[in-house]
């Protein structure tokens, strides 16, 4: 017998004709209504986030497709060792599942999203992406040359961007501004990859629905949700099974707001860990200025090469765990000018045009994605005053950058400058901690087998509520040192498969 599935989405459907690169003022739109920060956008479907107690600003997008609308589509998997941090390094906790459990779901997801890459990276178990890698371009090649001269690991990135026509999506035309949404449709966003398939299978999608709380029966089991529709009218939806996919901030917000006599501290929170152990990926930006032209923003901005040279722990470096590098290109003309002035490289007045010409089209670099270890003091709580437009309490983020992360970032900056100098940069520059870089939201409803130390079990089911499942980054035990989207999606497929396989005795 089939299952009736309904998805409540707080945002709208997006349309490629409305994306910034269809307009002459595309850079301005990318910094306004298509900015990654909801506190900047302030659209009807957004909710505010109090990030005053965090050096990193959380980023997200609310729409069908979620934050895959605005992501860069850099698509690494976790490595096998990322699931065994406690065993290998004596910190954090091991995951209750491993790489081999997720491998078939990684493969399915690669096919569904349409991943371009090159098989054989020694940093990973062997796997074959469905498409050939994206061209490295001048920027990718010059960054790779620096790694090569130093004898460091590097490999063409796995990218969720079509390098050829793929299942109805046209190939990438190297337009550049991937993070303000892809007008071409070459970049995989789940509204154009998963949703058409799901709807053909009968899944229903209801947009403009802001869920207020999950409701429960007298026995404490979930029985549905209360939500505000697009007219602001409070509605009720009953369900036999409730699945949350609201990201590492939205999920704990909703659980904490779902208080009842059966769950006085919030739903699924008997451990007291809902909203705790928030992990970002602290980012450093390292850029080099080169004499030769490098084609500026042409090509996907963050999908050239990656390096795992400093990924595993090495006690001689003075910190635990490690980081990856993700090669980056230049930016558009306005963004390059704004960055140059903020960095002190482009003055006002005399010499402005000469300094700008030296930068634009002459920059290549990388970001360092550092592994963030879980700490219970890094939290998402309900703000006592701030609310969204429906009066639902907004999330408050309290986060402190650890000493381990500070040391890792400093190491990444120095080694990154070294690589760019080896590649021929005439000048290097770095921002050791990017504030608007909270793309990755993890850990606030962690997975585990110990009910006192986790929120969900090894297949995403809440320990306290047997018909409640979570399938987003909040269930991560550790963060690894790579982008999490591939692993979030593989986990979602794995948990859906577990639900299907156990449907006969799901609530036993």
Q: What is the mean pLDDT of residues 118-129?
A: 98
Give the confidence band of 480 by pLDDT, cuts at 50, 70, 90. Answer: very high
Q: What is the mean pLDDT of residues 310-325?
A: 97
Identify the pLDDT of residue 9.
98
**Residue carrying structure tokens 């490289």:** 345
Identify the pLDDT of residue 216.
97
Q: Which of 35-44, 61-70, 327-336 has the lowest mean pLDDT?
A: 327-336
* pLDDT digit string, tens, across residues 199-255: 999 999 999 999 999 999 999 999 999 999 999 999 999 999 999 999 999 999 999
What are the extents of the domains in the chain?
Answer: 6-503
Rounded-to-integer distance, Cα 174 and Cα 182, Å: 10
Question: Is residue 78 a contact partner of residue 321, using CB atoms and an 8 Å limit?
Answer: no
* Rounded (5°) CA angle 293-295-299: 155
Within 124-175, residue ranges assigned H as helices are 137-150
Identify the pLDDT of residue 341.
93
Q: What is the mean pLDDT of residues 147-163?
A: 98
Identify the pLDDT of residue 489.
98
Residues 6+ apart with CB under 8 A from 15: none
Identify the pLDDT of residue 112.
98
Identify the pLDDT of residue 504.
84
CA 286 to chain centre: 20
* pLDDT digit string, tens, across residues 273-301: 999 999 999 999 999 999 999 988 888 98
For the chain, what is the mean pLDDT?
96
Identify the pLDDT of residue 296.
80
How far CA 177 is from CA of 265, 295, 305, in Å, comes to 43, 13, 17
- Superfamily of domain 6-503 in CATH is FAD/NAD(P)-binding domain (3.50.50.60)
Identify the pLDDT of residue 506.
81
pTM for this entry: 0.97
Give the confidence band of 507 by pLDDT, cuts at 50, 70, 90. Answer: confident
Crossing angle of helices 485-501 and 99-113, in 10° steps, is: 110
1 pLDDT more than 50:
no
Q: What is the mean pLDDT of residues 328-345?
A: 91
Rounded-to-integer distance, Cα 69 and Cα 66, Å: 6
* pLDDT digit string, tens, across residues 452-466: 999 999 999 999 999
């Amino acid at each position: 017998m089939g299952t009736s599935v309904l998805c409540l989405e707080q945002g709208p459907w997006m349309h490629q004709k409305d994306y910034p690169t269809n307009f002459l003022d595309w850079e301005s739109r990318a910094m306004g209504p298509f900015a990654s920060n909801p506190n900047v956008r302030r659209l009807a479907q957004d909710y505010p986030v109090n990030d005053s107690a965090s050096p990193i600003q959380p980023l997200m997008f609310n729409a069908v497709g979620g934050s895959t609308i605005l992501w860069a589509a850099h698509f690494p998997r976790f490595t096998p060792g990322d699931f065994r941090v406690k065993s290998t390094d004596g910190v954090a906790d091991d995951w209750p599942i491993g790489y081999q459990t997720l491998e078939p779901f990684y493969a399915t997801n690669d096919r569904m999203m349409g991943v371009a890459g090159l098989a054989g990276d020694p940093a990973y178990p062997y796997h074959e992406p469905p498409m050939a890698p994206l061209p490295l371009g001048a920027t990718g090649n010059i960054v790779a040359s620096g790694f090569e001269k130093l004898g460091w690991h590097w490999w063409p990135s796995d990218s969720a961007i079509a390098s050829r026509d793929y299942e109805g999506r046209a190939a990438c035309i190297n337009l550049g501004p991937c993070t303000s949404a892809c007008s071409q449709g070459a970049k995989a966003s789940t509204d154009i990859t998963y949703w058409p398939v799901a709807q053909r299978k009968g899944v229903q999608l209801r947009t403009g629905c802001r869920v207020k709380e999950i409701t429960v029966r007298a026995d404490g089991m979930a029985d549905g949700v209360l939500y505000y529709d697009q007219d602001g009218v409070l509605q009720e939806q009953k369900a036999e099974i409730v699945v949350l996919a609201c990201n590492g901030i939205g999920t704990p917000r909703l659980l904490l707001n779902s208080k009842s006599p059966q769950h006085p501290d919030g739903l699924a929170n008997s451990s007291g860990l809902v909203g705790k152990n928030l992990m970002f990926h602290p980012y450093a930006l390292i850029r080099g200025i080169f004499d030769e032209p490098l084609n500026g923003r042409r090509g996907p901005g963050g999908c050239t090469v990656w390096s795992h040279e400093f990924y595993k722990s090495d006690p001689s470096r003075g910190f635990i765990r490690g980081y990856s590098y993700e090669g980056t290109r230049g930016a558009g003309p306005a963004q390059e000018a704004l960055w140059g002035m903020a960095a002190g490289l482009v003055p006002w007045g005399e010499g402005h045009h000469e300094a700008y010409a030296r930068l634009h089209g002459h920059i290549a670099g990388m970001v360092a994605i550092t592994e963030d270890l879980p700490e219970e003091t890094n939290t998402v709580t309900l703000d006592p005053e701030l609310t969204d437009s429906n009066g639902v309490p907004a999330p408050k983020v309290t986060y402190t950058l650890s000493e381990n992360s500070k040391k890792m970032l400093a190491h990444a900056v120095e080694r990154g400058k070294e690589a760019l100098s080896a590649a021929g940069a005439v000048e290097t520059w770095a921002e050791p901690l990017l504030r608007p870089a909270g793309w990755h939201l993890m850990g606030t409803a962690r997975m585990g087998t110990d009910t006192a130390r986790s929120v969900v079990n090894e297949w995403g089911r809440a320990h306290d509520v047997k018909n409640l499942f979570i399938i987003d980054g909040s269930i991560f035990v550790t963060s690894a040192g790579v982008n999490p989207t591939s692993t979030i999606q593989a986990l979602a497929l794995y948990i859906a498969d577990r639900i299907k396989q156990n449907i006969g005795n799901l609530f036993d």
